[in-house]
Chain A
């Protein structure tokens, strides 16, 4: 195959990777603090896209205001759910919160489906990217849609920002301390419970933002998050839930590998991520960046 095509696939892989990274980053942050895996992450990603679409329909808001507003709305909704529902199950086996968020996923998807059908009489809707990002860019060696480059860049910036906040700031120190040892952190006079809600909000806000970013590429559709979340779970297993940076690197790397693999042997497109997961499990059961189980 020619280099041109391969390069395009690398860029397409980076776009997919941008979504994997944003979602697995949110999952990792939430897992670190709450010790739960949020199955609802995919549904909240969809809700981000849907909110952007609905804001456009109701108030004529364009892409840019929605890119700010929709994630905030999703984050607030997430925080309400965390306070009212998820927090009821903290004393129990973390499996119960996985099940709860699974039930919420079914509920959210079908509610959105009903709303889309009854309000807008559509089962899926396109979403136009802003005019400033329409068209293509000639990078010299390859021509690529401007909007997709923007997605890659924004995702990278957000991931680095999250990493910086968690690793280098006082807020991050509190979060890391609460993650490592909630009891001792409380003894220092920090209200861990309050931070839990905030961190959950940021994590799902990232998912909502990924949803808005995805809306112009894929169309807005009630089930757009369900396959993505399962693939993201595979990415998380490959990377391990151990580190923030690990989830970002794995997200982009898996995106590129899967896209290039699909170009070389197309039938493997959907399954390559899972094959990679099986291989990693054979060699390192706790993932590339994960700590062996029992040490945390």
Chain B
């Protein structure tokens, strides 16, 4: 029997680990509505995809966006607006996702030229601006009341009044979104993106245009965040100003960190953990804000690799 060279063996093992994560995650998501109530399960899908979209930008491009609520929330509102104006579910969700992409063009253009902390502050500021616009544009957004009471007409014989049906429909949408993110990261584009993240000058010197790569990554990330936002509206049947709040931008950062930045699987796990924790706290009538704030602080201080990162690190050391 031939012995594989060390590097090949390592690549092979990495591939196996990835396959294991993928199968494990897929299985859990398939049976999730049997374990917890379907609306919470759907929340995990929506926030999970949102966190994957964020990870694409933070983990793989090194850009810490503090304003991703802008894309998630805009899409959530546009989806709700289209549904309440008699559009079908696919049109509404695609419309919302498209709106997120359109919004990402000017915001991305103005922000990706800045680096580090500046990028974070600029994205946060733009998201706040969108939030103010939604607050004031009451004809379209319903202002403080938000939008609710819109129909979710069935599609391909699916009855969307049943939350389990909604879950499995969203699981299919989630799979598409996750696949796009996965392919993006594994493609030559994704490799170049990581080169830019690790050393911008070096990437530039071998002929890549860092700004263009970051801009494209920003657009893909915002579009996926939009897709997730439309799932959120579809799942709940209501949308309120919370979706555009700066806390929403922070929450997705926390989910990603907790699950494992730059792992793509991790953010989904992080989203699940945060939402389950929040559910438990709310049920037990404990102060949600204090506990999540504390978890955030502890994760940043002591658990920066996140769940998946820690497991991978541990596997690699063996």
Question: Which positions in A face B, CB cutoff 8 Å?
Answer: 31, 36-37, 85, 88-89, 92-96, 98-100, 102-111, 113-114, 226-227, 230-231, 233-234, 236-237, 267, 270-271, 274-275, 277-278, 281-282, 285-286, 293
- Which of these, A85, A104, A227, contacts B293 with CB under 8 Å? A104
Known: A106-B296, A233-B121, A285-B113. A99 touches B253 (CB 8 A): yes
- A40 to B272 CA separation, bound complex (whole angstroms): 27
Determine whether the beta carbon of B120 is less than 8 Å from that of A98: yes
Overall SS of chain A's interface: helix
- On chain A, the residues within 8 Å of B106 by CB distance are 278
A–B pairs, 21, beta carbons within 8 Å: A88-B301, A95-B116, A96-B300, A98-B66, A99-B300, A102-B253, A103-B293, A103-B300, A107-B289, A107-B297, A109-B293, A110-B289, A110-B293, A114-B287, A231-B125, A231-B128, A233-B121, A233-B125, A270-B135, A270-B136, A274-B129
Determine whether the beta carbon of B120 is less than 8 Å from that of A109: no
B122 contacts A by Cβ under 8 Å: yes
Beta-carbon contacts under 8 Å, B83-119 to A: 106, 110-111, 113-118
- A244 to B168 CA separation, bound complex (whole angstroms): 55
Known: A99-B257, A271-B129. A107 touches B115 (CB 8 A): no
Which of B64, B117, B122, B289 has the most chain A CB atoms inside 10 A of its CB?
B117
Overall SS of chain B's interface: helix
Determine whether the beta carbon of B293 is less than 8 Å from that of A89: no
* Least Cβ–Cβ distance between B292 and chain A, in angstroms: 6
**Nearest CB in chain B to that of A36: its residue:** B117
Determine whether the beta carbon of B121 is less than 8 Å from that of A237: yes
B146 contacts A by Cβ under 8 Å: no
Determine whether the beta carbon of A106 is less than 8 Å from that of B293: yes
**Nearest CB in chain A to that of B245: its residue:** A226
- On chain B, the residues within 8 Å of A271 by CB distance are 129, 132-133
- A263 to B250 CA separation, bound complex (whole angstroms): 33
- On chain A, the residues within 8 Å of B213 by CB distance are none
Beta-carbon contacts under 8 Å, B247-290 to A: 247, 250, 253-254, 257, 287-290
> Please, how many residues of chain B have a CB less than 8 angstroms from a CB on the other chain?
42
Known: A282-B110, A293-B114. A100 touches B300 (CB 8 A): yes
- A106 to B293 CA separation, bound complex (whole angstroms): 5
Known: A107-B294, A233-B125. A270 touches B120 (CB 8 A): no
Determine whether the beta carbon of A237 is less than 8 Å from that of B293: no
Question: Which positions in B face A, CB cutoff 8 Å?
Answer: 64, 66, 106, 110-111, 113-118, 120-122, 124-126, 128-129, 132-133, 135-136, 246-247, 250, 253-254, 257, 287-290, 292-294, 296-297, 299-301, 304
- On chain B, the residues within 8 Å of A285 by CB distance are 113-114
Which of A103, A234, A237, A293 has the most chain B CB atoms inside 10 A of its CB?
A103
- A248 to B305 CA separation, bound complex (whole angstroms): 39
* Least Cβ–Cβ distance between A95 and chain B, in angstroms: 5
- A237 to B133 CA separation, bound complex (whole angstroms): 20
- On chain A, the residues within 8 Å of B120 by CB distance are 37, 95, 98
* Least Cβ–Cβ distance between B126 and chain A, in angstroms: 7
* Least Cβ–Cβ distance between B218 and chain A, in angstroms: 15
- Which of these, A93, A113, A282, contacts B289 with CB under 8 Å? A113
- A89 to B129 CA separation, bound complex (whole angstroms): 31
**Nearest CB in chain A to that of B288: its residue:** A110
- A114 to B250 CA separation, bound complex (whole angstroms): 21
* Least Cβ–Cβ distance between B240 and chain A, in angstroms: 16
Minimum-distance CB pairs A-B, first 7:
A110-B289, A103-B296, A107-B293, A106-B293, A274-B129, A103-B297, A270-B132
Determine whether the beta carbon of B289 is less than 8 Å from that of A98: no
- A93 to B119 CA separation, bound complex (whole angstroms): 14
- On chain B, the residues within 8 Å of A93 by CB distance are 116
**Nearest CB in chain B to that of A240: its residue:** B118
